[in-house]
Structures are given as structure tokens and as C-alpha cells.
Amino acid sequence: MTTKIKIPTPLRRHTNGLSTVEVNGGAANVRGTLDTLTAQYPTIGERLFDGQGQVKSHINIFLNNEDIRFLNGLETNVKDGDTVVLLPALAGG
Amino acid sequence: MSFLRGLRCRECGTLYPVDALFVCDECFGPLEAHYDETARNAHVTRASIAQGPRTLWRYHDFLPSEYTPRVDLSDGWTPLIRAHNLGRELGLRNLYLKNDTVNPTFSFKDRVVSVAAAKALEFNLPALACASTGNLAGSVAAHAARAGLPSYVFIPADLEPAKIQSAAIYGATVVAVDGDYDQANRLATEAAETYGWGFVNINLRPYYAEGSKTLAYEVAEQLGWRAPDCVIAPVASGALYTKINRGFEELYEANLISGPLPKMIGAQAAGCAPVATAFGKSTREIVPVKPRSLAKSLAIGNPADGRYAIDAARKSGGGIFSIPENAIAQGMALLARTEGIFGETASGVTVSVLKKLADARAIDPDETVVAYLTGNGLKTREVIENVAHTRIDTAPNLESFQEQFEPRVFVVA
């Protein structure tokens, strides 16, 4: 199973400059997918999560076209070919 | 002159150079304009401001750009009107209306776009762009036209037709997104990373947001360099509301007004009220919602500055409140019938929240209150199609008119 993760510009220095990272393996949900990402690029983890394992407040995570807060949060299931998008929460208005 | 010295992360304080940046590399927090406030406060006086143009650029000392006539459509410096009739209706003896419906593209967005467009020229960006609930799209398109830049506006496809047309006429490329504002915004955020355009509310956001402070400066100057006791403004992303508050603080820090600073009241409609909901629950963590509101210009379900708006509400002794959806058109009609100002849905929300607080005696009748009317009603006519009114259908002769009219005037016994 392959899941794509889109990396925003400010985080690309943690992914060797990559704007998209493909994660392979059996991650069943968004949390597992991001854990796999962190295993590949260890410094990105502390940018995404606070000490309690919660997503930092200025980061929005989307599964395909939907904000995961409208789905099942980090526990939202992912399937083969899904795309996880990480974006800063600051734009708009 | 501009006293801008760089950008600074609102969360962790990391400093960045003046550039098209908007997010902190360290903590993902928002970047804000950072000024040499000591030098500015020593330099700026009421007289130095009075020498400036009769546009928002008279406050350029407080803005992140020099005065840039090439982008100025005569933005801002809109009327502050004493509202005797609406005040009588609401039981408020010192009510004023800041009428931003008469800006060049008929909303307060001209203030923020004027500043963002000046920075886009300074940074030599090839195009101006935005994600928009409508008002911003028109303003971006107009300022891009004046600055000689192409423009790209990302809007939800179901927006009011008048708002789409009033961006298209200036030559903008309209990107109609099959989704709500938050989804259009998300696409625009990805596009901003892909193309080198100046997205006014994304990569130019730290500069753009500063333009809203002029709503505070103008009100204070128009009141004779005095802060009102209380102001009320609509809340969408929370940026406008937060920056009005910051504007009054800056005038106080520069000794241009004395305290106390105004209580900040924020207004939302029930169909999209995530900030009012969080305020009511005494938390600053906003739970995003799917917007279902007639007030499309306020329909931001995931408000980026919501937490800062709540901070400003608490610190100032104000609050953020919502009204039911059916009060939107009622507020628009009340404003139009009492004061002759046709504000858009957001103004209907603002007037209705003000009425709710006045009816509940939550505002002292003698306080000086300023309500911000941020957009023109002609762009949101759909919501008032069924507004109750008197209509007489007649043939083109006096007899027919009298036949129809007089039974309504004289009570027939």
C-alpha cells in the first residue's frame, strides 16, 4: 500500500527538499502514515506534533480533499493511493 | 516613511527579513510585521498624519510600506456617521457607523489589498492573487488592474453572481472551486507554493493584515483623536477584528489617544460561528465547522486568527457573539431603513448582534459605540429578495394610481 504525503515549503528542509513523500507499508490510518514519515525523516516529527502527540495548532492535515478534523482525526483510515496533505493553518480571511 | 524592520513569529518570536513569507519555519506560527516602534512613536504626530493624503495612506508610518500612489484607488478615509435614528431604535445615545461600503470596490478589503499590492510591487511579484469569499476577489482584481498586474482569484463556485462579476470586470482570471471557502483557500495555499504569485492573504498576509488597522486610526481621528468606548465588527477569519484592536493599541502607545481602549465586540451568524462558540465556552481552541450561512463573506469555518480574536475580546472586556440566520436580513433592513445605508450580509450580522446586546442592556446607553459596516449590500441582494415592503402596481394614469393607493392610506370605515 502506498500513501502520498505532500510537504509544505517550511517543512521541506526536513525531507531533503522533497515536496511529496511516498510512504509504503501497512499504515492503517493518518497517524500511522505520519509515524512512518517521521521514521524516515526524524526531525519532522517535533514540527508536526506537540509533547502529547497532538497535531500542533497551526498545522492543518487533509486526507485527499477533507480536513481530518471532519473525518476521524488522526485515526482516520487511509487506503492505497490516498494523499495526505500538510498545510500551514494561517492563510485566508 | 515605513518603520518596518522585518517579520516576527507571533508564537515564538523568531525574526525574518522583509519578504513574501508568512509562516515560521520553526513552529509554523504566523509571521507578523515587526516595526521599530520606539522610532515611530517618537516621529509620528497628529499633525504629521494630517499632512498625508485623504486615504488610508495618511497612516503610512504605521503601515509596512511607503505610500504607493500606483496602487491607491483612494482607499479608506470613509465616513464616520452619527447614527441618531438607529441609535434611538436600539436605545444607544452615542452610536456611530463607520461606512466602509463606500470604498472603491465597496468593502473594507480595499484597505488590506492596497497595502498588499504595494508590497507585491516592491517584491517584483508577477501577479496578484487571493482566495476569497467575494469581496476580496473584486478588490484584488481592481488593484491589480491599477498596478498593471494580472490577477487570479480563487472563489467557491457557488458565490453570489454579483461578487464573481465584480472581479471579472477588472480582467481577473476567476478560478471557481468546486467546494467551500476553506477548500478554495486550501487550493490557493498549494498554488501559492507552486507559482510565484503574490497571494494577498497567503504569502503577503503579514503585510495585508496590517491594512485593517486603519479602521481604528480613522475612527479615532474622526472622533477628534479619541477612542470610542466600544466597537463592534464582524468576525470571519478574525484578522479584521484583531487588527482593529491592534490599531487602537498602537495609537495609545504612540500617545495619539488616551485610554481606556475600546471594548471589542465581534459578530458572527449562527450558520458559521466557530469563534463565537469558542468564546462562549471560554476556550481559545476553535473547533472548525462546515459553513452554512447566508453571510458568505463571514463563512470561514476554519478561522486562522480565531484564537487571537478571542484573546482581544477577553483582554478588552468585550466578547464575540452570534445571531440566528434569520436576523441577517432583518439587520440589513433595519440599518437601511433607519440610516439609509445598504450594507451587505456581514453588516446585517453586525447590526443584529448590536441590537441583541443593546436589548439585553449589555451596552451602557451613554457609551460611544462604533459599528463597522464592512461591505455593500448590492453584492448580496439575494438574501433580501423577500424583504417585506410596500408595493403598488398601477396603470400609467392618476385614476389607477389613486384607486390602488388611497385605500391603503385612508382607513375606510
The residue range of the domain holding B92 is 80-105+211-384
What local confidence, expressed as pLDDT, does residue A29 receive? 93
Question: In CATH, what number is assigned to the domain containing residue B257?
Answer: 3.40.50.1100
Chain A neighbors of B179, CB-CB under 8 A? 65
> Residue B389: is its pLDDT beyond 90?
no
Chain A neighbors of B202, CB-CB under 8 A? 91-92
Taking an 8 Å cut-off on Cβ atoms, the answer to whether B303 and A10 are in contact is: no
Taking an 8 Å cut-off on Cβ atoms, the answer to whether B29 and A92 are in contact is: no
> Residue B378: is its pLDDT beyond 50?
yes
> Residue B130: is its pLDDT beyond 90?
yes
* Strand-by-strand arrangement of the B198-199 sheet: B173-177, B151-156, B128-131, B198-199
Taking an 8 Å cut-off on Cβ atoms, the answer to whether A88 and B28 are in contact is: yes
Taking an 8 Å cut-off on Cβ atoms, the answer to whether A92 and B22 are in contact is: no
Taking an 8 Å cut-off on Cβ atoms, the answer to whether B185 and A91 are in contact is: yes
What local confidence, expressed as pLDDT, does residue B375 receive? 95
Q: How confident is the model at residue A58 (pLDDT cuts 50, 70, 90)?
A: confident
| Closest Cβ–Cβ partner in B22, B285, B300 for A90 | B22
What local confidence, expressed as pLDDT, does residue A52 receive? 87
Mean pLDDT for B215-240 is 97
What local confidence, expressed as pLDDT, does residue B413 receive? 45
What local confidence, expressed as pLDDT, does residue B412 receive? 46
Any residues with CB less than 8 A from the CB of A76 and at least 6 apart, and which? A29, A30, A63, A68
What local confidence, expressed as pLDDT, does residue A90 receive? 66
Residue-range domains of chain A with CATH: 2-88 (3.10.20.30)
List of long-range contacts for B7-12, beta carbons under 8 Å, 24+ apart: B7/B31, B7/B32, B7/B33, B7/B34, B7/B206, B8/B32, B8/B34, B10/B308, B11/A58
Does residue B47 form part of some domain? no
Does residue B50 form part of some domain? no
Among A64, A69, A90, most B C-beta atoms within 10 A, so best to mutate, is: A90
Mean pLDDT for B343-357 is 97
Percentage of the residues of chain B whose pLDDT score is greater than 90: 84
Does residue B262 form part of some domain? yes
Among B19, B26, B28, B203, most A C-beta atoms within 10 A, so best to mutate, is: B28
Taking an 8 Å cut-off on Cβ atoms, the answer to whether B186 and A62 are in contact is: yes
- The answer, for B238 touching chain A at a CB cutoff of 8 Å, is yes
pLDDT digits (tens, 9 = 90+) for A22-54: 988 777 899 999 999 999 999 998 889 888 888
| Closest Cβ–Cβ partner in B28, B199, B304 for A93 | B304
Mean pLDDT for B89-100 is 98
What local confidence, expressed as pLDDT, does residue B79 receive? 98
Mean pLDDT for B220-234 is 98
For residue A87, CA distances in Å to A6, B31, B90 come to 8, 15, 44
* Greater model confidence, B228 or A55: B228
Does residue B302 form part of some domain? yes
Mean pLDDT of all residues belonging to chain B: 94
State whether residue A54 is helix, strand or coil.
coil
What local confidence, expressed as pLDDT, does residue B88 receive? 98
Chain B neighbors of A85, CB-CB under 8 A? 186, 190
Residue of A nearest to B288 (CA): A69
Does residue B10 form part of some domain? no
- The answer, for B287 touching chain A at a CB cutoff of 8 Å, is yes
- The answer, for B62 touching chain A at a CB cutoff of 8 Å, is no
Does residue B364 form part of some domain? yes
- The answer, for B270 touching chain A at a CB cutoff of 8 Å, is no
Nearest Cα of chain B lies from the Cα of A36 at a distance, in angstroms, of: 21
Percentage of the residues of chain B whose pLDDT score is greater than 70: 98
> Residue A91: is its pLDDT beyond 60?
no
What local confidence, expressed as pLDDT, does residue B396 receive? 95
Q: What is the pTM of this model?
A: 0.94
pLDDT digits (tens, 9 = 90+) for B246-273: 999 999 999 999 989 999 999 999 999 9
Number of domains composing chain B: 1
Does residue B261 form part of some domain? yes
Taking an 8 Å cut-off on Cβ atoms, the answer to whether B288 and A93 are in contact is: no
| Closest Cβ–Cβ partner in B23, B192, B236 for A93 | B236
Does residue B310 form part of some domain? yes
Q: How confident is the model at residue B409 (pLDDT cuts 50, 70, 90)?
A: low
> Residue B37: is its pLDDT beyond 70?
yes
pLDDT digits (tens, 9 = 90+) for B137-155: 999 999 999 999 999 999 9
How many residue pairs bridge chain A and chain B with CB atoms within 8 Å of each other? 85
